[in-house]
Amino acid sequence: MYLYHFSMLLVTLLAVVAVAGATPAVPRAATAMYNPDLFQGDIKGIAGQEPGKERAAILGEQYLWPGGVVPYVFGNSVNSYERSLIISAMDDFHARTCIRFVERTSQSNYIEIVSNDSGCWSYVGTIGGKQRVSLDSNGCMYKGTVIHELMHAIGFYHEHCRNDRDYYVTIHYENVQAGMESQFNKDTYWQYVGEGYNYESIMHYGTYAFSVQWGVAKTIVPTDPNVILTEAYDKLQMAQSDANQINNLYRNQCSF
């Protein structure tokens, strides 16, 4: 009897240790945004740049949406709940910036928002004609994620890839998945639009982006020890600095 109880106790202890030592699962919201085959994880292409050569591009006025107006259509895959969520994300732009998303009528340049493609991604700037914004139903239907992808569509890159980022974060390449190191390349020829680095930017990735061990091996660590990075999908609105940068970038396009 004693041996039986001892054996059961040992099994229980081993189970607890196994659970405690298990690697946390990567959230689907993260894998949907951190696509290994896309530039910086969720950029399908960049206006005026040849695919595969998107590094450090500067967007000219010709790659912004004229008048700050972005026509859009929903693909047939987008259900009523998803439409409401996406429109609420657009409302964040409407309330705080000069950008206006409008339902397409006959405009030749517009975005098509779909939910049945793989992952969360967008092009940066207007590429001409119909351009897709992918908001996969499985992982991308978060207000913060939608705002993030729409900011790409109007011309923005990632905050953690700014040329001045090394003053604010350390990239631990030893913890980055093999072959994914280039996802953290800095935008050498970036365009400054009036705001300093902001950890709270909706365009900033979280601590474990492209990590070899999610929840354990950190890849993006703030130089300020008091800062805790938050994933875009956990945010409900853009930062004020994001809104300011949008208005600064579109100062020649919008009528304030």
Question: Is the Cβ–Cβ distance between 45 and 129 less than 8 Å?
Answer: no
152 labeled binding residue? yes
Q: Residue 143: CB partners within 8 Å, gap ≥ 6?
A: 85, 88, 89, 92, 235, 236, 237
Residue 166 to residue 149: CA distance in whole angstroms: 24
Neighbouring CB atoms inside 10 A of 79's CB total: 13
Query: Half-sphere exposure of residue 183, counting CA atoms within 13 Å on the CB side?
Result: 28
- Please provide residue 226's backbone torsions phi and psi, each rounded to the nearest 5 degrees: -90, -5
Residue 36 to residue 31: CA distance in whole angstroms: 9
Looking at residue 96, its amino acid is R
Structure tokens at 3: 């041996």
Q: Number of H helices and number of E strands within the chain? A: 5, 8
Which among 158, 210, 205, 212 has a CA at the least distance from the CA of 186?
158
148 labeled binding residue? yes
Which of these is catalytic: 149, 159, 174, 231? Answer: 149
Q: Residue 129: CB partners within 8 Å, gap ≥ 6?
A: 108, 109
Q: Is 231 a catalytic residue?
A: no
Binding residues for Zn(2+) are: 148, 152, 158
Binding residues are: 148, 152, 158
Give catalytic residues, as residue numbers: 149
